[in-house]
Amino acid sequence: MSSNNILLKRIGGKGVLLLLLLNFCATILFAQNVVIRGTVKGDVGEPLAGATVKQVGTNNVTVVTKNGTYELKNVAPGASLQVTFIGYKNEVIVLKSGQTTANFVLRNNIVTLKEVTVNTGLYKRPVGNFTGSAKSYTGEELKVVNPKNVLQALSVVDPSVRITPNNQFGSDPNQLPNLQVRGANNLPLTTNTSGANPVSNGDFAASYLSNPNQPLIIMDGFETTLQALYDMDISLIANITVLKDAAATVAYGSKAANGVIVVDTKQPAMGKLRVTYSVNASTELPDLSSYHLLDAAGLLEAQRIAGVYSDKNQYNDIAKKQWYDYRLAQVKSGVNTYWLSQPLQVGYGLNHSLQLAGGGSQFRYSFSLNYNNSEGVMKDSGRDRYALSYNIGYVGGRVKVNNNTSVGYVKGNNSPWGSFNSYSSQFPFFKNNDDSGNPIKVLEPSSGDLGFAISAPGSLAFLNPSYNSTLNVSDYNSSLSMSNKTNVEVSLTDDLKLTGSLGWQGNSPYAQTFLPADHTSFASSVTSSMMDLGSYSQLKGNNNAIDGKIGLNYRLSFGRSTLLAAVGGQLQKTESSSTQIKVLGVPNDYLDEMGLANGYGLTSTKPSATVNLTRNVSNFGSISYNFADRYTAEFTANQSGSSQFGSNSKMSPFYAAGLSWNITNEKFFKPNDVIQSAKLRASMGTTGNQNFSSDMSQQVYQYKLVNNYRLLMGTVTTSFANPDLEFQKTLKTNVALMLGMFKNRINVSAEYYNEVTNNLILPLEIAPSTGFITYQDNLGATKNEGFELGISANVIKDPQRNIFWTVGFNTGHYKNIITRLSPAVEAINKKNNLDSDPNDPTNTRYQSSPLPRFVVGESTSRIWAVPSLGIDPATGKEVFVKLDGSHTFEWDANDKRAIADATPKFKGAFSSNLNYKNFVLNLNLTYQYGGYMYNQTLVDKVENVNLALGNADSRVLTERWKQPGDISSFKSLVSDGTNGLQTTKATSRFVMEDSYVDLASLTIGYNFPSTLKWVKAAHLSAPRLMITQNNLAHFGTIKTERGTSYPFARSLSFGLSTNF
């Protein structure tokens, strides 16, 4: 063998060895790299499709899929994985040895107001360039709190959003809530004196007239009604933003004083066809815990003590004793009817929501279908909702086009069982049904049937309201609505965009009430014939709104500066019309047709019709400058015009300016163990309010045949024109501080606001010789001042084990005072101090409840009553304090004083959200402290109760004065507390503290893992089960009957949702 061959062999052998060594090392190295799999979800369990998962320090990146899962290959052991997603805080996990699974739960970026951009409904602006007060909530967040009522959920999570409790209508599904943002800027007066009321809440102006403090509601860039939001499928809501101060709302000009609620619905996204289905089953349980009525024996004893069965006339006294003996026999026989349960039921509801979405890079689409049946707790009452909508989007080059069409139908059924108070007042010693189980129409035999000399004390006949449920009663309202909205966006350059939108909305409300001739409301008819028994009422209307907008948005970045500008204009026209008719004389239960009635009757009014028309124009311009993400200055101006105001004041300007300072990015700011981030902002500006009738500044005439001249038609002036009537304006000031503390585990947001409303629109009383009584003028001013505080804390944050616990606390306080009033308003105060009702002299209870009084320096929610020292132990009479400090037994309206304020000192909520692996536990407590309430139901059921006609609170026996020396809370027991001097009128004795804690919602949920066999087999994505209990418990300082006409309810919901 030659030396060369030997050398080649040696070299070849070393090369092979070297190659094997390198291959071995590479194998070991790559064998250590692993595949990491897991999920990425938001803090309420929603999958965050599109989030990025990255191995820190490398280019190894993957994207989260639509069902929230990801797979990252070639990950080195001990590597750090980081997940990022817009609007959420970044999360980093350091892998442990052998770990192949990593699940992430991202938290909303609370320090930056929980969103990267703020949508005002007219333009979008990054948080860094926005100085206004805004708070945004996702639809999923609100759904966890209350899956049935988005307005109730919003009032729980945001202290500035308040729903005034309706103690009369309770949980009635057909009653819209009274919604306010940061309190009231108007006096509680009816400014619609012309009688031109819109037909229903399907009209923009309708709910504004009943609540002039209601905020403006914007949905996908267009104004909408409170009813539309109330009836909306919560599954379609992407997020809701509450705009509060002038800097955030002034672009809406004359409509922004009460705040703005901006609703964004879910838009179609690119991808394969995705099917989302959710079903929510619910139950409504009547809450009667506030009722403490007398039973049969207790009521009979209270009647005996009060003298119902006694009479100075010996003949009548004997007859009344016969009635007592008859009723006592009923009690001893075991009759003790619990009338409260008669009209009630457990209400069941079912909500189906189906959404389909998909599309390519240019055309995208979505389709949604919703059916929601919700029964109330009163029998045969409820609300049915049907909705269908589709959305088509096009993205091509620099053009984006979106069109949305929706159709909806709502029907609200009122209970044929009547008002709940007609049952709470029934005598429990009356039987409800006969021996066959059928309701008895007349609950007690007549005096003739029993052989008694006189009729029963208090009434000729006691009627059974449940009897009406056996008749063909019809009482419902409905609304068919349609809308079409188109939005266009053209990118003229990369930094300049032209936007335009055109929308039409319309609805046709309808209402019908049919009461057959056998209805108990006609049992005491005094008509001379049977021809007027039975009634049929019908209301038909039509509402339309056309809204068009155009705008330009410009962005300029230079150096460390960012400049944003937006200008736009809007035209709006709204129309509403209605006709209403009532006829009498319908002899048969099933002849429920208007043409079968006898006529209009002796007391019925003629048919009525109303037409309302408004035209509005609004132009705005907004500019924002940000330097180095530290300093921001923003200025917005608006000019609004409306046909509602005087001919000399059709247009009005509005302005707002704001500043913000991101202290975190200052060089001198050194993050420490206590504070890691800080931001300060302030704003000031004027906004307007036009929540008034369409013709309040115009002269209105009404044709009347009785005012004819030689058989020519005459007219009557119903309202006087005011060409100088101006826009009502509110000057708003807002200061806020936001802090991230203790390694950003605690986030604090504090805001102070001051709102001064000028040109307050009030009715001015003028000389009757002019032919009319009032007209509208700018006569006053009010001021609202308050603060809001929000704290959230990450108690547990363990991404490795997927355990997170976040708690939150918010509170709000505001005080309202009247700062200026015209002397003409004193006429309203004088009328409310009269002993008798000027509009109804037969009203014996005119002063039995506090009437409003308006005084400069006092709150609009003050409770005015005569000061009381309580019940005199010697006489059982109430002792009052006069203005001069002297004491008297005589109640005098002129001695009224401001006793307390109904507005609470603090109102807010506490929340807890626990995510333990796949389980979710959410708790929300709401509270109120320091408010006061006039306990009207206590007055009506203890002292002003007529025991000869109705039942009473149990305290009528246990806590009323009986004999000299008794120390008691209530006056002596009398038969009729509404008769003359016995009537208890507005007194401080019944002004009571109204503080409470409510368990507003409790939710338990479970997110089924995508690895389960049945989930894979069914091709499901992110299936989720949620059980929610709403209004579970109420703990209050005041004992009062709640829900007098319709009871309150506790709600339990079972929800299941998934994607396909």
What is the Cα–Cα distance from 905 to 930, expressed in whole angstroms?
A: 5
Torsion of CA 843, 848, 852, 853, to 10 degrees: 100
Domain boundary (247, 269, 291) is at 269
What is the Cα–Cα distance from 789 to 982, expressed in whole angstroms?
A: 48
- Give the domain extent around 245: 112-269
Who has greater pLDDT, 648 or 766?
648
pLDDT of residue 2: 43
Provide the pLDDT confidence category of residue 199 given band limits of 50, 70 and 90: very low
**In CATH, what number is assigned to the domain containing residue 255?**
2.170.130.10
State the average pLDDT over residues 487-510.
93
Task: Give the percent of the chain with pLDDT over 90.
Answer: 47
pLDDT per position as a tens digit, 113-122: 344 789 999 9
DSSP label at residue 130: -
pLDDT per position as a tens digit, 880-929: 999 999 999 999 999 999 999 999 999 999 999 999 988 999 999 999 99
Q: In terms of Cα–Cα distance, which of 206, 212, 220 is closest to 262?
A: 220
What is the Cα–Cα distance from 762 to 780, expressed in whole angstroms?
A: 8
pLDDT at 45 over 80: no
The answer to whether position 887 is within a domain reads: no
The answer to whether position 11 is within a domain reads: yes
Provide the pLDDT confidence category of residue 22 given band limits of 50, 70 and 90: very low
pLDDT of residue 927: 94
What is the Cα–Cα distance from 522 to 520, expressed in whole angstroms?
A: 5
What is the Cα–Cα distance from 157 to 148, expressed in whole angstroms?
A: 15
Looking at 148-152, 196-200, 872-876, which range is the least confident one? 196-200
pLDDT of residue 191: 38
CB-CB contact of 262 with 545 (8 Å) = no
What is the CB neighbour count within 10 angstroms for residue 591?
A: 16
How many residues are present in the chain? 1060
**Residue 190 exposed, middle or buried by CB count within 10 Å (0-12, 13-18, 19+):** exposed
- One DSSP character per residue, 441-509 reads SBSS--HHHHT-SSPPTT-S--B-GGGGGGS--EEEEEEEEEEEEEEEEEESSSSEEEEEEEEEEEEEE
State the average pLDDT over residues 67-80.
87
pLDDT of residue 920: 92
Domain boundary (269, 301, 322) is at 269
pLDDT of residue 206: 60
Provide the pLDDT confidence category of residue 207 given band limits of 50, 70 and 90: low
pLDDT at 187 over 90: no
Report how far Cα 891 is from the mean position of its chain's Cα atoms.
39
pLDDT per position as a tens digit, 552-594: 999 998 888 999 999 999 999 998 888 999 888 887 888 778 8
Provide the pLDDT confidence category of residue 687 given band limits of 50, 70 and 90: very high
CB-CB contact of 300 with 331 (8 Å) = yes
Q: Which residue has the tokens 């031109």?
A: 196
Provide the pLDDT confidence category of residue 979 given band limits of 50, 70 and 90: low
**How many degrees, rounded to 5, is the angle at CA 273 between CA 270 and CA 279?**
115
The answer to whether position 144 is within a domain reads: yes
Do both 116 and 265 map to the same domain? yes
pLDDT of residue 702: 73
The answer to whether position 117 is within a domain reads: yes
The answer to whether position 306 is within a domain reads: no
Do both 116 and 261 map to the same domain? yes
CB-CB contact of 1030 with 148 (8 Å) = yes
Structure token digits, residue 720: 């006087």
Adjacency order of strands within the sheet including 887-888: 868-871, 878-881, 887-888
The answer to whether position 252 is within a domain reads: yes
Q: What is the largest CA-CA distance in the chain?
A: 154
CB-CB contact of 700 with 650 (8 Å) = no
881: helix, strand or coil: strand
**How many degrees, rounded to 5, is the angle at CA 223 between CA 222 and CA 224?**
115
Task: Give the percent of the chain with pLDDT over 70.
Answer: 89
Do both 4 and 137 map to the same domain? no
Q: In terms of Cα–Cα distance, which of 694, 763, 685, 574 is closest to 186?
A: 763
pLDDT of residue 131: 94
Provide the pLDDT confidence category of residue 203 given band limits of 50, 70 and 90: low
Pairing state between β 1021-1036 and 1048-1059: antiparallel
End-to-end CA distance of the chain: 75
What is the Cα–Cα distance from 827 to 609, expressed in whole angstroms?
A: 31
The answer to whether position 129 is within a domain reads: yes
Q: The whole model's pTM is what?
A: 0.83
pLDDT of residue 137: 92
CA distances from 164 to 77, 234, 410 (A): 58, 22, 24
Provide the pLDDT confidence category of residue 66 given band limits of 50, 70 and 90: confident
Do both 131 and 10 map to the same domain? no
Q: Which amino acid belongs to residue 629?
A: D
State the average pLDDT over residues 164-192.
79
pLDDT at 470 over 90: yes
Q: Which amino acid belongs to residue 362?
A: Q
**Residue 842 exposed, middle or buried by CB count within 10 Å (0-12, 13-18, 19+):** exposed
pLDDT of residue 1060: 77
Pairing state between β 104-106 and 34-42: parallel
Do both 146 and 241 map to the same domain? yes
Q: Which residue has the tokens 């008694």?
A: 452
The answer to whether position 345 is within a domain reads: no
CB-CB contact of 692 with 191 (8 Å) = yes
671: helix, strand or coil: coil
Do both 229 and 133 map to the same domain? yes
pLDDT per position as a tens digit, 771-829: 444 556 667 888 999 999 999 998 988 877 888 899 999 999 989 898 888 777 777 78
pLDDT of residue 604: 57
Q: In terms of Cα–Cα distance, which of 499, 594, 491, 507 is closest to 542?
A: 507
With b for 16 or more beta-carbon neighbours within 10 A and e for fewer, the 900-928 pattern comes to bbbbbebbbbbbbbbbeebebebbbbbbb
pLDDT per position as a tens digit, 249-282: 999 998 989 999 999 998 887 778 888 899 999 9
Number of domains within the chain: 2
What is the Cα–Cα distance from 815 to 185, expressed in whole angstroms?
A: 11
